[in-house]
Amino acid sequence: MYGNDFAPPEDAPGGGLLGEVEAAEAALREAAARARRGGPAPDEDAEAYFADVIDADQKIEPRDWMPEAYRKTLIRQIAQHAHSEIIGMQPEGNWISRAPSLKRKAILLAKVQDEAGHGLYLYAAAETLGISRDELVELLLNGRQKYSSIFNYPTLTWADVGAIGWLVDGAAIVNQVPLCRCSYGPYARAMIRVCKEESFHQRQGYEILHTLAHGTEAQKAMAQDAVNRWWYPSLAMFGPPDGDSTHSAQSMAWKIKRFSNDELRQRFVDMCVGQAEVLGLTIPDPDLRFNEERQAYDYTQPDYDELMRVIKGNGPCNRERMAHRQRAHADGAWVREAATAYAAKRAEQKEAVAA
């Protein structure tokens, strides 16, 4: 009764992807059981050992030697992921006070709470690479590190909460499920945990849209309008097309990434079409059709110029999202200082007693 208390409709998404997460978890256990060599042999250099671990599909762990560029790429990617969880609380948090039933309010509160938890979990994974959470938060607040472009779009109606769950969380899972097999152990393990909850969130969003699409005319129109606004920004979440993607090749060689942006985008489109049909909603792309030859859907690409504008800070809500985060951080400074001062006093007392 306290939140996630509905039975998912049988046609709800998430099942197949969740299976992939579980398979990745099993593979992770097997890799660990294969008892990776404890370190480079006496006559072997660290670089060769690193390459060997990657080739054998085993995991790099925090104490292992790793190329500096590998470390930097991972810090950038994991931090951006963590920031996205934290900033991503805002568009949905916007509807907690106005959720239209107590059940929906409870589910939404639980979901936003999960996102904060994912953020903390990812910051902890990033910290294993030798950077502190405080430093990362600072990089977010001064705009030197990014978060996902999708959270710069506004949530204008309740249906947007459903569309975020279905499309945005759906895109996130398609993107993140392969990361469950990422070569860096702490990130792979974080992703397994995050993906399990995300897949649950996606089903919740789908269920909101399903209820709306089968409700009153006004509710159905609200659902369609939300899908119309969130479809292309969700496609853009996979990043620029492969030809323009700067980090892809190296990340794939290091087995951080497993599939290209365009491959994942295609997988997402193929997954959504059937689900939209069951919802009774239309995907806002007149050129969407099945291509027999490719056994995949042809679709209209998102506007990548818009994506670049949003990434550069000129989306509808970039300024608001950043200002909100900066304000919360600044307003809370006296509280964090109090906690630090109190802890120091307690530590002094303990020392005095011990002496």
Partner 1 sequence: MTTVFDFTLGLGDDALIAAQRLGEWTTRAPEMEEDIALANIALDQLGAARLLLTYAGELEGAGRDEDALAYLRGDREFRNCLLVELPNGDFAVTVAKLFFLAAWQLPLYTALAGCADERLAAIGAKARKESAYHLDHASLWMKRLGDGTDESHRRAQDAVDQVWPYVHELFVPAPGAPVDPATLRADVDATVAAVLDEATLTRPETSWAPGGGRDGVHTEHLSYLLAEMQVLHRAHPGARW
Min CB(139)–partner 1 separation in Å? 15
Min CB(172)–partner 1 separation in Å? 18
* Alpha helices in the chain, H assignment, sequence order: 15-33, 46-55, 68-87, 89-93, 102-127, 133-141, 158-163, 169-176, 185-213, 217-236, 248-253, 261-279, 304-309, 318-331, 333-354
Q: Mention every residue, 6+ apart, whose C-beta is less than 8 A from residue 140.
A: 79, 83, 86, 87, 147, 325
Is residue 221 a contact residue for partner 1 (CB under 8 A)? no
Nearer to partner 1, 219 or 234 (CB): 219
Span near partner 1 by CB under 8 A; candidates 85-93, 124-132, 240-248, 283-291: 85-93
Backbone angles phi, psi at 296, to 5 degrees: -155, 165
* Ranges within 184-213 binding partner 1 (CB under 8 A): 208, 211-212
Min CB(92)–partner 1 separation in Å? 9
Span near partner 1 by CB under 8 A; candidates 216-224, 254-262, 279-287, 308-316: 216-224
Nearer to partner 1, 253 or 344 (CB): 344
Q: Mention every residue, 6+ apart, whose C-beta is less than 8 A from residue 76.
A: 145
Min CB(250)–partner 1 separation in Å? 31
Determine the length of the chain.
355
Is residue 295 a contact residue for partner 1 (CB under 8 A)? no
Alpha carbon 333 to chain centroid, angstroms: 27
Is residue 154 a contact residue for partner 1 (CB under 8 A)? no
Span near partner 1 by CB under 8 A; candidates 26-34, 56-64, 188-196, 339-347: 339-347
Nearer to partner 1, 301 or 340 (CB): 340
The Cα 164–Cα 321 span in angstroms is 16
Min CB(220)–partner 1 separation in Å? 11
Helix (H, G, I), strand (E, B) or coil at 238: coil
The Cα 236–Cα 136 span in angstroms is 25
Is residue 89 a contact residue for partner 1 (CB under 8 A)? yes
Nearer to partner 1, 90 or 248 (CB): 90
Nearer to partner 1, 253 or 338 (CB): 338
Q: Mention every residue, 6+ apart, whose C-beta is less than 8 A from residue 155.
A: 91, 92, 94, 95, 161, 164
Please give the torsion angle defined by the CA atoms of residues 264, 269, 274 and 278, in that order, rounded to the nearest 10 degrees.
110
Min CB(215)–partner 1 separation in Å? 6
Among 7, 35, 333, 355, binds partner 1 (CB under 8 A): 333
Handedness of CA 259, 260, 265, 267 (dihedral sign): negative
Handedness of CA 33, 192, 245, 65 (dihedral sign): negative
Min CB(267)–partner 1 separation in Å? 31
Min CB(91)–partner 1 separation in Å? 10
Min CB(254)–partner 1 separation in Å? 29
Is residue 339 a contact residue for partner 1 (CB under 8 A)? yes
User: For residue 248, how many other CB atoms are within 10 A of its CB?
Assistant: 19
* Ranges within 156-175 binding partner 1 (CB under 8 A): 158
* 215's tokens: 């409700």
Label residues 166-196 b or e (16+ Cβ within 10 Å = b): bbbbbbbbbbbbbbbbbbbbbbbbbbbebbb
Among 336, 347, 348, 350, binds partner 1 (CB under 8 A): 336
* Ranges within 92-131 binding partner 1 (CB under 8 A): 93, 96-106, 109-110, 112-113, 116-117, 119-120
User: Could you tell me how many residues of this chain bind partner 1 (CB under 8 A)?
Assistant: 50
Residues at the contact surface with partner 1, assessed by CB under 8 A = 1-3, 86, 89-90, 93, 96-106, 109-110, 112-113, 116-117, 119-120, 158, 208, 211-212, 215-216, 218-219, 324, 327-328, 331-342, 345
